Amino acid sequence: MFPGARVACFVDGDRWHGNGWRIRGFDSFEDEFAHRNSDFWKQKIIRNMARDVEVTDKLQSDGWLVIRIWASDVEADPIAVADKVERSVLDRRARTT
């Protein structure tokens, strides 16, 4: 979090926040859970996704810029992700001065 600029940055783990199916090569979220005990894991991840939306909505309603980044994006290109966050923070700071 960057309180001065009111920017909140979250790095969401792909598996636990609903993007696992894409990076694991499945055709859909549902396809990722075609195994035993799938309902438990599917519901857990759906709850995580719903909580992510609630947190994002709350912060945005309080005037924060929320950036959500997939962990796989950080792994693929950490410099590009860091640049994105930096640009966002600098832009927000420039608007408030």
Query: Which residue did the predictor score with more confidence, 38 or 76?
Result: 76
Contact 23, 74 (CB under 8 A): no
List of E strands, the chain: 7-12, 65-70
Q: Could you tell me what percent of the chain has a pLDDT over 90? A: 61
Do strands 65-70 and 7-12 pair parallel, antiparallel, or not at all (unpaired)?
Answer: parallel
Mean pLDDT, the chain, rounded, equals 91
Q: Is the pLDDT of residue 36 over 70?
A: no
Please state the domain extents for the chain.
7-96
At 52 the pLDDT is 97
pTM: 0.82
- Region 7-32 average pLDDT: 89
